[in-house]
Structure 1
Amino acid sequence: MTTPVIELRDVSRGYDDGPPALRDVTLTVREGEAVAVLGPSGSGKSTLLNLIAGLDRPDRGTVTVDGVRVDALGEAASARHRRARVGLVFQFFNLLDDLTVTDNVVLPARLAGTNRRAAAERAAELLDRLGVARHADAYPGRLSGGERQRVAVARALVNRPALLLADEPTGALDTASGQDVGALLTELNAAGQTLVVVTHDLALARSCTRRTVRLVDGRIAGDETAEGAR
């Protein structure tokens, strides 16, 4: 059996005086899996992603990512772990408009301590692999939504993360561009990238993952693979 990349054990997280955003969630994602997290607004999807990424901490339970207890890390250590081991892709790309495409992709590698030449070589390799090498010297504002999302994926992969987290990666795209990004995520997983996609888009979930975790009111209400219920 493959190594767990994500292990949540009895995790709960609440905010202010409202009901918990997550309640007693236990979840394992193994190396090479592609998992979609589905659920209505307010179901706890974003909280789950933030806990896995180390952007938030649980009130109770443990969160382990790539062998590290991220819930026990301080802010600086959490940022270092996230930079090195977790790639993040967002709905609205979060690219820096005053940097070129290459500089956007290079930035996380430079922050992780990679020398400029090696970082630039890695960025060029990824931009070519993802089909946007011709835009290397362009600024993000000149690109289509689908192209910007490909650049965002390149940036997320530049440090060879153990885990790629995608938060509504097609939410700001038209149908054709969304299908294109879905195909890209499928290709990445086929090459061995562990992938978790948080989405409202059932078509995206079906196209690029083989396992679906459904959240309702902060609890796991279903966990199914393409072969059937788990």
Structure 2
Amino acid sequence: MTDNVIELRGVSRRYDSGPPALADVSLTVAAGEAVAILGPSGSGKSTLLNLVAGLDKPDDGEVLVAGQRVDTLGEAGAAKYRRRTIGMVFQFFNLLDDLTVFDNVVLPSQLAGAGRADARRRATDLLTNLDIARYAQTYPGRLSGGQRQRVAVARALMNRPALLLADEPTGALDSASGADVSRLLSELHADGQTIVLVTHDPALAESCATRTVEIVDGRITADTAVGAAR
């Protein structure tokens, strides 16, 4: 597929009188790509992700995701956009500890107004496909880090998002669990899921991305096909 899921057009973001967090960034991500955003702390990676997620707005430029202008959305519109268009996976899982695994996963579809029966079928299918169905009635605090991240991925995929955003998804995991999540992301990409991954870890980018974008001081300094880098 060649249609772009993400288009950033001359995007800049400033938070104070210092250097911009992002400076005139233009970037496209095609449907079916898995793109890793690399860079040191403070380089602008998280700012870029927040703009794509509609959690922040640029001072200049345009942000389009799945053909929709995200930067012009109000608070309610941005919330609806996140429910319908993107799934998000975080470093520290952000699961609700007082809900079971099943209830954590099914929650996004309930918020989106899906029918109860359809939502339960979708959640069951995801838990089965991600090999965590046996934990459906378990609370997140009783799971390992790798298992919790699988639950977080299932939750992110619940509403069939056009785009999966992952912010340091292995940053809080041990090496074995991190490798497990890396394989999972690779499998999702092989199934056609468009993924944008923010990471400090070049090995993670190499293992599950088809393209790496490096950001330094708010500017893109390299944009490389992973196969070409090997």
Q: Could you say whether these structures have the same fold, taking a TM-score greater than 0.5 normalized by the shorter chain as the test?
A: yes
Q: What are the equivalent positions in structure 2 for 1:101-112 lying under 5 Å apart?
A: 101-112=101-112
Could you say which residue in structure 1 is the equivalent of 2:174?
174
Letter of the aligned partner of 1:87 in structure 2? G
Deviation at 1:116, TM superposition (A): 1.4
Could you say which residue in structure 1 is the equivalent of 2:35?
35
Could you say which residue in structure 2 is the equivalent of 1:95?
95
Letter of the aligned partner of 1:216 in structure 2? V
CA distance in 1, matches of 2:8, 2:164: 17
Per-residue CA deviation, residues 140-179 of structure 1 (Å, 9 max, x unaligned), is 0000000000000000000000000000000000000000
Q: Which runs of 5+ in 2 are unaligned?
A: none
CA distance in 2, matches of 1:227, 1:197: 17
CA distance in 2, matches of 1:8, 1:204: 24
Q: What are the equivalent positions in structure 2 for 1:210-229 lying under 5 Å apart?
A: 210-228=210-228
Could you say which residue in structure 1 is the equivalent of 2:183?
183
Structure 2 length-normalised TM: 0.98
CA distance in 2, matches of 1:27, 1:90: 22
Per-residue CA deviation, residues 49-68 of structure 1 (Å, 9 max, x unaligned), is 00000000000000000110
Q: Which runs of 5+ in 1 are unaligned?
A: none
Q: What are the equivalent positions in structure 2 for 1:125-144 lying under 5 Å apart?
A: 125-144=125-144
- Say what the alpha-carbon RMSD is for the aligned residues: 0.8
Could you say which residue in structure 2 is the equivalent of 1:8?
8
Could you say which residue in structure 2 is the equivalent of 1:202?
202
Q: What is the DSSP-based 3-state SS (H/G/I as helix, E as strand, rest coil) of the residue aligned with 1:171?
A: coil
CA distance in 1, matches of 2:143, 2:43: 33
CA distance in 2, matches of 1:85, 1:206: 26
Query: Deviation above 3 Å: which 4+ runs of structure 1?
Result: none
CA distance in 2, matches of 1:68, 1:40: 30
Letter of the aligned partner of 1:105 in structure 2? V
CA distance in 2, matches of 1:106, 1:116: 9
Aligned identity (percent) is 70
CA distance in 1, matches of 2:18, 2:95: 33
Q: Does 1:74 align with 2:74?
A: yes
